[in-house]
Amino acid sequence: MTNLSKSWLDLPEAPPVTGMYELVLEVSDLVASERFYTEAIGLPVATRWGDERPATWLSLGNEGFLGLWPVESGGEVAIHNGRGGAHVHFALRIPIGTIDQAQARLEELGFAVERVDFGNGNVAIYLEDPDGNVVELTEIRLLWDGTAAS
């Protein structure tokens, strides 16, 4: 429970967030989801958890991870009663110049892919994973504040 009576202005400044470390999706079929993210999207497996709390962790670059958990791996058996939850949409950055390759590959695999050109060299493709989560693969040249992406 938060202390809403205390003014946020009276608190020390929050430390800056430096990036996403992990995101967890609750999945109905761990095998199907792992196959989608490894074979269709191309994410490497970082680790798998065993029978007591099954999960697959996939690498997002060098220091970020996507967790796939069946329902039984969350709640009471999870840290802080965590659950994966149902996510509507998340985006994964891919290298500039690879969006056409990614789209062609996914369409060859039979996925319905929607493409959006946001201008300024920013292009994204969207598809659904086995649980209906919307996965975005995006090439970003210009950030929201107008600065160049690194």
Q: Are 54 and 30 in contact (CB under 8 A)?
A: yes
**What pLDDT was estimated at residue 6?**
60
Hey, how many other C-beta atoms are within 10 angstroms of the C-beta on 86?
11
**What pLDDT was estimated at residue 127?**
95
Pair of tokens at residue 23 = 């995101």
**What pLDDT was estimated at residue 15?**
81
Long-range contacts of 48-54 (CB under 8 A, 24+ apart): 49/73, 52/77, 53/77, 53/78, 54/30
pLDDT at 86 over 70: no
- Classify each residue of 1-24 as buried b or exposed e, where b means 16 or more C-beta atoms within 10 Å of its C-beta: eeeeeeeeeeeeeeeeeeeeeeeb
Beta strands 89-93 and 134-139 are: parallel
pLDDT band at residue 103 using 50, 70 and 90 as cut-offs: very high
Instruction: Write out pLDDT tens, residues 19-34.
Output: 888 999 999 999 999 9
